[in-house]
């Protein structure tokens, strides 16, 4: 079986992000990367959405497909930003339908400080958020380690 080739898409608000938490989580198979605990996998692409409403999504999908990406992770920053990305569901559907990527919400575990603030703001009260956040919520100790 060949290695899973992963692409990461970050929110353009964080376009200067060096990916430290994402790469650490991948190396440790934490957060949404825990699905690869027993699999051969590599990160083969890392880019931003291009800014609202997703100016780079079509191009990056094509480029990632050409480079053998099999799974795309929509970075945790898209979930925890203020506000969270309003286009995340569309990105997920488009990338799956157009390029047949497996699309995963999240990368690294959600830092505790973001969880606490979004609870105060009531951001994640709708039922859809349970599914979106499931792979990245983790336990408090892990969330604190990603603060």
Residue 125 CA to its chain's centroid (Å):
20
Structure tokens at 114: 């973001």
CATH number at residue 58: 3.40.50
Residues 6+ apart with CB under 8 A from 13: 77, 81
Reported pTM: 0.95
State the burial class of residue 33 (Cβ atoms within 10 Å of its Cβ: 0-12, 13-18, 19+). buried
pLDDT per residue over 30-64, tens digit each? 999 999 999 999 999 999 999 999 999 999 999 99
Residues 6+ apart with CB under 8 A from 43: 6, 7, 8, 22, 23, 26
Structural domain boundaries enclosing 99 = 4-145
**Average pLDDT for runs of 10 along the chain of length 147:** 90 94 98 96 97 95 96 98 96 98 98 97 95 96 97
Structural domain tally of the chain? Answer: 1
| Average pLDDT, rounded, for the chain | 96
């Amino acid at each position: 079986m060949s290695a899973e080739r992963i692409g990461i898409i970050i929110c353009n608000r964080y376009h200067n992000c060096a990916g430290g938490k994402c790469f650490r989580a991948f190396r440790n198979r934490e957060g949404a990367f825990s699905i690869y605990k027993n699999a051969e996998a590599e990160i083969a692409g890392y880019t931003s959405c291009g800014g609202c409403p997703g100016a780079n999504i079509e191009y990056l999908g094509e480029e990632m497909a050409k480079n053998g990406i099999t799974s795309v992770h929509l970075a945790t920053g898209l979930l925890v930003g203020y506000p969270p990305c309003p286009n995340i569901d569309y990105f997920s559907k488009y990338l799956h339908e157009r390029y047949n990527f497996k699309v995963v919400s999240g990368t690294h575990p959600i830092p505790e400080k973001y969880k606490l603030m979004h609870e105060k703001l009531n951001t994640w009260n709708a039922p859809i958020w349970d599914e979106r956040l499931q792979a990245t919520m983790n336990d408090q100790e892990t969330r604190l380690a990603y603060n």
